[in-house]
Amino acid sequence: MAQKNNHTTLQETNLDNIAGDILRPVGLNIKFHAWMGFLTLTLLACLYAYWIQFNEGLIVTGLRDYVSWGMYLASFVFFVAASLIGMLISGVLGLLGQDWIKPIARIAEIIAVAFAAVAGLVIVSDMGRPERLPYVFMYGRIQSPILWDVTVVTTYLVISLLLWFIPLLPDLAIAKTRMHHAPKWLSTVYNFLSLKWTHHPDQYKILFRTTRILLILVIPTAFAIHTVTSWLFAVNPRAGWDSTIFGPYFLTGAFVAGAAGLILAMYFFSKNYKLSSYITADHFNKMGKLLLLTAIVYLYFNINEFLVPGYKLKTADAIHLKELFTGHYAWLFWTVQLGGLVIPILLLLFKPMRKPLPLTIIALVVFIGSWFKRYLIVIPTMEHPYLPKQFVPAEWIVYEPTLIETAITIGPLIMVLMIITILSKLFPVVPIWEMAGMGEDETNDHKKAE
């Protein structure tokens, strides 16, 4: 494996081989066009749904005065959650000196960038007056958690974008002369974006120093984005949200969703881009362990979140929990809790389940379960206000998402896929220079200096 070649002198043939492997899928082929065409058509359909909502008002959704936040908010929480994987991989594991993350760190950043970039749009789709979005900046009140959320999500997006781009610089310089099969403009773009990178040791020193600062910054920022997102709910005096552990509860849940998302992407790239000698079975095994660890921590917070109010059964909490455990949401709740959390934990304890294919299947279930988990956090609480719901039309009592609402919810997901496709198809997804061991002397110097 490439990253094991510590302290070996840089061999041009080695670099050629690695660059050849990693750059082979880069470029615009017929598959890319077909896939992007499909995504564009789907997105247009979703945008048409949004156009209807924009004209008719949110009446076209299942939202009404009691359940005034629904699928859009659940989806927003999910998007912010999924974007946190960038911080967990590059930030936490990277700073801990876990070198095995090198080939997958960039994929994690791509996921982070894609989900963080679109999360804001999900919120705009929920707004009754989207054209007044600038008011948030013009008349913003610092007391409102929405202001905190806007601030930290934007910050996180910028840091994640830099954490994707800066380590890409050496690769752009390597790739610009080797893109024989790609269109010429792509080489020009690479040349421009590589910012005159010459692989000079001083450049690597700057790169390491910058990345290190960003990695340190990204940890509190990522904690902040999901903690603040949880506070959008926890600051409201409602049963099911009125919880002091909502911050860590959301944060650990985010790591589960993000780790699952990363495993899905890893599987796709290792198979489709034929990168299995870089994204190896060992990486899947380690990611399986990471998913297991995060899921266990999340389970711990789930137990806290349900057992403690369930023990006391205060009136409003009792109604809420009954609805989840045995009521209207019971089937969804138990499917998500058991199928999306408990059973994956049990399976992941066994090594064969952490092989690429079984792990990917488990990750897919966990990933979908994570979305529905957010649905269960947002909606049942809104359906049970303190005062009775009376003298309103029957459809106001229980929330049922509409088709238009579903299409508008799918739209941002399509955009995420588009961003991931573009970033992974036009640029190398695995860092070539790190695989080839370039700049390692500078890293070691830097580490000694620390």
Partner 1 sequence: MSDESSNKVPNNQNTNSRKSRRDFLKSIGYTGAAIAAGGAAIYTGYRYEHAKGKSGMVTVLTNDNRLVQVPIDQIHEFKPDPHALQKRGRQGLEGRRWVMVIDLAKCRNARKCVEACQSAHHLRPHEYHINTLIMQDAPNTAPYYMPKPCQHCDNPPCVSVCPVDATFKRQDGIVLIDNERCIGCRFCMAACPYSARMFHWQEPVLAQEYETSFTEYDVELNTPQRKGTISKCLFSADRLRENEMPYCVTACPNSVFYFGDENEDAVTNGTTKETVRLSQLLKQNAGYRLMPELGTQPRVYYLPPKNRLFDAPDKELTGNHSTQTT
Residues that bind partner 1 in the complex, under the rule CB under 8 A: 56-59, 61, 63-66, 68-69, 123, 126-130, 132-133, 135-136, 138-141, 143-147, 232-233, 235-238, 382, 385-394, 396-397
Q: Which residues contact 302 (CB under 8 A, 6 or more apart)?
A: 249, 337, 341
Minimum CB distance to partner 1, residue 404 (Å):
13
Which letter, b or e, does each residue of 31-62 get, where b requires 16 or more Cβ atoms within 10 Å of its Cβ? eeeeebeeeeebbeebeebbeebeeeebebbb
Q: Which is nearer to partner 1, 238 or 328 (CB)?
A: 238
Minimum CB distance to partner 1, residue 155 (Å):
17
Minimum CB distance to partner 1, residue 393 (Å):
5
Minimum CB distance to partner 1, residue 297 (Å):
28
For residues 352 and 348, give the distance between their C-alpha atoms in angstroms, rounded to a whole number: 8
Minimum CB distance to partner 1, residue 377 (Å):
13
Q: Which is nearer to partner 1, 126 or 440 (CB)?
A: 126
Give the end-to-end CA distance of the chain in Å, rounded to a whole number.
27
Minimum CB distance to partner 1, residue 123 (Å):
8
Minimum CB distance to partner 1, residue 222 (Å):
22
Q: Which is nearer to partner 1, 13 or 143 (CB)?
A: 143
Minimum CB distance to partner 1, residue 81 (Å):
19
Q: Which is nearer to partner 1, 133 or 293 (CB)?
A: 133
Q: Which residues contact 110 (CB under 8 A, 6 or more apart)?
A: 164, 265, 419, 420, 423, 424, 429
Q: Which is nearer to partner 1, 5 or 236 (CB)?
A: 236
Q: Which is nearer to partner 1, 247 or 258 (CB)?
A: 247
Question: Is residue 255 within 8 Å of residue 287, measured between CB atoms?
Answer: no
Q: Which is nearer to partner 1, 66 or 100 (CB)?
A: 66
Q: Which is nearer to partner 1, 122 or 217 (CB)?
A: 122
